[in-house]
Amino acid sequence: MNFLKRGINLPLLVGLVLIGGWPMVFGSSYDLRVFTLAGIYAILTLGYQFIFGHAGALALTQGTFFGVGAYVTGLLGLKFGWGFAITLPLSMLVPLLLALLVAAPVLRLESHYFALATLGIGQVMLLLAVSWESVTGGANGLPGVPGVMFFGETMPRGWPLLLFVWGIAALAALVSWQITRGLLGRAFTVMRENDTAALSIGIDIWMLRFSGFLLSAVYAGIAGALYVHTIRVISPEVLEFHIMVAVLTMAVVGGRTHIAGAILGAFLLVHLPEWFRFLDKYYLIAYGAVLLAMIIAAPYGLIGTVQRLRARWFPEAPPAPPKAVPLPARRDDSLSGPLLEVTSLAIAFGGVRALDGVSIELQRGEIFGLIGPNGSGKTTLVNCITRIYNANSGALRIAGQDATRVPPYAMAKLGVARTFQNINLVDEMSALDNVASARAGIEGVGVGRALAKLRDTQLARSRGYAMHLLELMDVADVAMQPCGGLAYGIKRRVEIARALALEPRLLLLDEPAAGLNESEQADLAARLKKLSSLGVTLLVIEHNMPFLMPLATRMACLDYGQVIATGTPAEIRAHPRVIEAYLGAPDAAVPSAPDLALKGAG
């Protein structure tokens, strides 16, 4: 049973045997045709997984790309007699060009706006196919599309076409696996789960979505070409919305990020209507009820559900962690002058000025504390420094370089890293891969690079670095465990290790001691002092004064979006305006540090 430990599991083998043996048992010409269509939809769904599953964007263009690919092959084969070797590349190219055309205006839209925009593109293409009768045949379409032709010979239907289609589906699945199995796949996962966290570790989320969108178009073009060769008719039906609904359902039912899920979802949804034909006019009701039941019973898709049940009923020991590899030598940071300069930074949300002319400087190697009542603008300031927010006015410089308009993902390359007030780790990824994913921006991931190398050295190298950082934070023993099951304090250390994977010179920590007990706080403070001694400049937002005041070398206090005091911890503790901000009484007695901690957390 050693093969079970090498990534080949019994449910997968059983599924492959059942699907592979299906046409052997049900081998009529009609059954073979239906099974061929299942292979075509498997290719279509594999492509849709790139944008919907891996990139996490609800694009409604997959049916459009499918229809465009079908029209290109159908018209060229019917009107000019061109063979498959010419029409297939063109059926891939034209949807790709269409995706390039629409990507710029729609890919930066969010959630339902993106979905509606992509839906509108499909309706435009459908109207074009119906109206352009002289070329497309209008609503009636054009019959007589030739089958797959090579060197003037048409491939017979039945087994030859079935094996050909499923051979292409297998190749498409292999390409999908190669793209998503390495560091690029981990970057997709972080982006899908939390795009803000992805930006903070240097992942260009817009380029990833763009890549996923283009890949979905190419796969759809291949599926469209094969579809029109199989049914031998080209009509506007291939552009109608029911194709999009079908592929979306296949991805959800099978599992939106699993290759096996795309194949299983396509197989089931193509065959289910056939299995319910005996119900006559009620078969659609049964079909819909079964789909609804599957979605409710398996919200992670059938493959995802099987994996979870397998992990619960047949748990396996986690694999051995990789050998730790020290990070490369730190960048030369011997330049003089402040590391961080924030000048007159201001931002407003509606009528609320969250920051109002904030100016601070951080010197190299210092630990700078930032305090203030809730709502004073502390996290907003960090979001502006990391470029998650675009300030309305003001300037930002990192080591003397203007960073006021630098894209947020590029801040990591300038040596800026951060943690979050609410820990932003991917629960289902191991601690090791959560940290390794932060190397994606530094290593430089991309589809071309993933396809060019059969062995992903980037992921192996990044995991070695990640292991070193987990050891540095004393959490190496949980490296192979999913982060969702880790204790809060352990998660906080893993998140700091992920930030350190960027080799930062400036590390921004947003309430790192929140939720930690006293011993954990003391341990964290010691580790932060060690990082500072290694040359990392720290900006620490914290309400917990007993934790922060012995740690910080300088501090600033924000109130209503303005800096009201800057100085040493002792000066800040005794400053009248700080006392007023925390206690709400300008003539109150000077409180002790624990008093400040109590009032500031309110």
Task: Determine the pLDDT at residue 317.
Answer: 79
Task: Determine the pLDDT at residue 153.
Answer: 79
Task: Determine the pLDDT at residue 3.
Answer: 43
Contact between 107 and 211 (Cβ < 8 Å): no
Global pTM?
0.88
CATH 1.10.3470 range(s) for the chain read: 28-313
Rounded CA gap, 499 and 469, in Å?
10
Rounded CA gap, 246 and 266, in Å?
9
Task: Determine the pLDDT at residue 144.
Answer: 87
Buried b or exposed e, range 294-305, using 16+ CB within 10 angstroms: beeebebbbbbe
DSSP secondary structure letter of residue 1: -
The angle subtended at Cα 543 by Cα 514 and Cα 501, nearest 5°, is 50
Domain 340-415+503-600 part of CATH 3.40.50.300: yes
Torsion of CA 212, 218, 221, 225, to 10 degrees: -140
Task: Determine the pLDDT at residue 9.
Answer: 53
Enter the tokens of residue 223.
Answer: 């599926």
CATH 3.40.50.300 range(s) for the chain read: 340-415+503-600
CATH dotted code for 28-313: 1.10.3470
Task: Determine the pLDDT at residue 585.
Answer: 53
3-state helix, strand, coil in the chain (%, to 5): 60, 10, 30
Q: pLDDT averaged over consecutive 10-residue blocks of the chain (602 residues)? A: 46 63 68 91 96 91 95 92 92 95 79 80 90 88 87 82 93 94 94 92 93 96 96 92 90 90 90 75 72 77 82 81 85 72 92 91 92 90 94 92 92 92 92 95 88 84 95 93 92 94 94 88 92 91 90 93 92 88 55 46 38
Radius of gyration of the chain (CA): 29
